[in-house]
Amino acid sequence: MRLSYPSNVKVIQVPCSGRVDIIHLLKAIEDGADGVYVAGCLEGECHFLTGNFKAKKRVQYVKKVLEELGIEPERVEMFNLSAGEGPRFAEIATEMTERIRELGPSPVKPQNAA
């Protein structure tokens, strides 16, 4: 199966989505990422039981922070899919890329800084 997904998606591997902390998502935004999403396992199928639920709550926290700062919370998202769902992975990457393209560049781009 040779699937293609948008080349703008930079994949950062973690042992479990539960490893993704609030600061990791914030740093991505701070450093100019237009969007950031977490691809966790299906709910109820976490090898570490609750890693993906923890990630989900952290994503929600960051969404709330962005909203407070007047930045579109849709720039941060959580997706759940199993490791065997390659086509779904490519589909999500495309979906997220399209969503971000519609939103336009992040207002936090470093070049916007004085």
Partner 1 sequence: MIVANRKPLAEIREMVENCDKILILGCKGCVTVCNVGGAREVSILASILRIARKKEGRLLHVDEMTIERQCDPEYIEQVKDRVGQYDAVVSMACGVGPQFLSEAYPAQRFFPAVNTTFFGGAIQHGVWAERCAGCGTCIIHYFDGMCPIARCSKSLLHGPCGGSANGKCEISKEVDCIWDKIVRKKMEEGHLKDLLDPKPPKDWRTARDGGPRKSVREELVQ
Residue with tokens 């960051």: 62
Q: What is the separation, in whole angstroms, between the first and last Cα of the chain?
A: 47
Of 10-18, 40-48, 82-90, 101-109, the segment contacting partner 1 by CB under 8 A is 101-109
Check residue 112 for interaction with partner 1 (CB under 8 A). Answer: yes
3 and 75 Cβ atoms separated by less than 8 Å: no
- How far apart (Å, rounded) are the C-alpha atoms in residues 70 and 60? 15
- Name residues contacting partner 1, limited to 60-89 (CB under 8 A): 65, 68-71
x-or-dash pattern for partner 1, window 20-59, by CB under 8 A? Answer: -xxx--xx-xx-----------------------------
Count other Cβ atoms within 10 Å, centred on residue 15.
9
State in angstroms the smallest separation of the CB of 48 from partner 1.
15
26 and 59 Cβ atoms separated by less than 8 Å: no
Question: Which is nearer to partner 1, 43 or 67 (by Cβ)?
Answer: 67
Contacts with partner 1 by CB under 8 A lie at: 21-23, 26-27, 29-30, 65, 68-71, 107-110, 112-114
